[in-house]
């Protein structure tokens, strides 16, 4: 009788599987649960704890800075937010606004404001090349039109939290620094959607800021990001991903950031604040844009992020399974308590550091919700055509 390799493998497993009782299966699940909790605690205490326990550094130097903002049909936002950029408590800076072929009143508003503020430089784009999609072309023009080596990027629909924004973002620079990553918050408003948006933003911030401080920078957010103009030219700008609509922030950082040239700043004064989406579907559309760039990340970044997400899913899946069976429930409850206590403790630290509030006790439920929604958005992204920049 001839037995194939597949049959031999199957025959070798049968005694093992046949010998496993329901109790044995539950024991294996318990060991897997404990290992998952251990990995989650490593993420929380070895990575996510770094920024919130670090001490802010201040420098005495105040190098000149160019703040670059791109705007398309953002007249109302420019009128509301631009004064906060122009009135920063910093000795030497300019604000470069690229008006990307707007058909609202942006041109006349910016012309009037430029007459009133000597440090405001306006670049009006009438046409743009068809091969450059998204925000990358106007942003490239804004960078090339800027005067200074240090660039500080923001969006027209957000504003600095305080007049110390430039000063404290620049505190992140030293002789080796080429990139400084900041946090972009959303306004606190009533309702579940606002809590969901702010939790998701905080959770994303915990990941990219913490991993950068741990020596694995992989992204930044364009509404609060700084890098040197020479780095932009050295990387040939956005050429390597110019056909991708999004990614002017995270893909550029993924391409250029290293453990040595990247620093992180976290605090109340160096945030920007944006108006959140007011409907769930608008937020989903925004998330589709943000998540569409993940496939272009470096492999090591994908592995780390996927590992963290996998431990989240395993934690909740195994926890629910073991609690239903009540198998060794004191050990299960103890491990779960340790994980939830760590999550709440560090989330509270992050919220205090970044002036977030009103969703701490909801964070485990919001975590489960985003665990389900974000992968669904990411996997269904190919079915939807990405919208144009504004």
Residue pLDDT tens, the chain, 390 long: 444 444 443 444 444 445 568 788 889 999 999 999 999 999 999 999 999 998 877 777 899 999 999 999 999 999 999 999 999 999 999 999 999 989 999 999 999 999 999 999 999 998 766 555 678 899 999 999 999 999 999 999 999 999 999 999 999 999 999 999 999 999 999 999 999 999 999 999 999 999 999 999 999 999 999 999 999 999 999 888 877 888 889 999 999 999 999 999 999 999 999 999 999 999 998 888 888 888 899 999 999 999 999 999 999 999 999 999 988 889 999 999 999 999 999 999 999 999 999 999 999 999 999 999 988 887 776 666 555 556
CB neighbourhood size of 70 (10 A):
28
Q: Burial letters for 21-33: b for 16+ Cβ neighbours within 10 Å, e otherwise?
A: eeeeebeebbeeb
* Whole-angstrom distance, CA of residue 160 vs CA of residue 165: 6
What topology is assigned to 55-279 in CATH? Spore Coat Polysaccharide Biosynthesis Protein SpsA; Chain A (3.90.550)
Residue 110: its pLDDT value, please?
96
Close Cβ partners of 137 (under 8 Å, ≥ 6 residues apart): 128, 129
Are the beta carbons of 180 and 172 closer than 8 angstroms? yes
Q: What is the pTM of this model?
A: 0.90
Query: Shortest CA distance to 207 belongs to which of 173, 250, 246?
Result: 250
Dihedral pair phi/psi, residue 147, rounded to 5°: -95, -35
∠ CA 327-330-335, rounded to 5°: 100
pLDDT score of 11: 43
pLDDT of res. 55: 83
Q: Are 202 and 354 in contact (CB under 8 A)?
A: yes
Domain layout of the chain by residue ranges: 55-279
pLDDT at res. 387:
53
In this structure, how many other beta carbons lie within 10 angstroms of the beta carbon of residue 321?
Answer: 16
* Nearest alpha carbon to residue 207 among 41, 345, 43: 43
């Amino acid at each position: 009788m001839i037995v194939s390799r597949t049959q031999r493998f199957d025959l070798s497993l049968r005694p093992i599987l046949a010998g496993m009782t329901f109790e044995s299966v539950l024991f294996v699940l318990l060991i897997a649960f404990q290992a998952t909790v251990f990995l989650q605690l490593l993420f929380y205490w070895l990575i996510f704890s770094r920024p919130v326990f670090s001490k802010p550094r201040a420098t005495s130097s105040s190098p000149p800075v160019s703040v670059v903002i791109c705007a398309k049909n953002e007249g109302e936002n420019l009128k509301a937010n631009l004064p906060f950029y122009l009135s920063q408590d910093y000795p030497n800076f300019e604000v470069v606004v690229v008006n990307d072929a707007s058909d609202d009143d942006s041109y006349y508003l910016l012309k009037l404001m430029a007459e009133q503020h000597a440090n405001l430089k306006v670049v009006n784009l009438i046409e743009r090349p068809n091969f450059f999609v998204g925000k990358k072309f106007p942003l490239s023009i804004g960078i090339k039109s800027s005067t200074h080596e240090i660039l500080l990027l923001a969006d027209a629909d957000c504003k600095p939290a305080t007049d110390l924004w430039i000063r404290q973002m620049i505190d992140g620079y030293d002789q080796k620094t080429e990139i400084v990553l900041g946090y972009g918050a959303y306004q606190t408003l009533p309702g579940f959607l606002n809590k969901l948006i702010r939790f998701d933003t905080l959770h994303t911030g915990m990941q990219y800021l913490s991993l950068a401080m741990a020596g694995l920078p992989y992204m930044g957010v364009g509404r609060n990001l700084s890098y040197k103009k020479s780095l932009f030219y050295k990387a040939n700008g956005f050429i390597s991903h110019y056909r991708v609509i999004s990614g002017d922030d995270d893909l550029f950082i993924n391409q250029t950031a290293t453990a040595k040239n990247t620093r992180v700043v976290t605090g109340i004064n160096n945030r920007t604040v944006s108006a959140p989406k007011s409907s769930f579907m608008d937020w989903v559309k925004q998330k589709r844009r943000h998540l569409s760039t993940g496939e272009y990340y470096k492999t090591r970044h994908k592995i780390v992020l996927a590992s963290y997400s996998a431990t989240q899913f395993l934690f909740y899946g195994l926890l629910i399974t073991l609690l239903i069976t009540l198998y060794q429930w004191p050990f299960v409850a103890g491990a779960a308590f340790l994980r939830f206590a760590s999550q709440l403790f560090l989330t509270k630290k992050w919220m205090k550091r970044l002036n977030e509030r009103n969703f701490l006790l909801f964070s485990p439920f919001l975590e489960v919700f985003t665990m389900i929604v974000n992968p669904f958005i990411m996997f269904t992204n190919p079915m939807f055509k990405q919208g144009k920049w504004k």
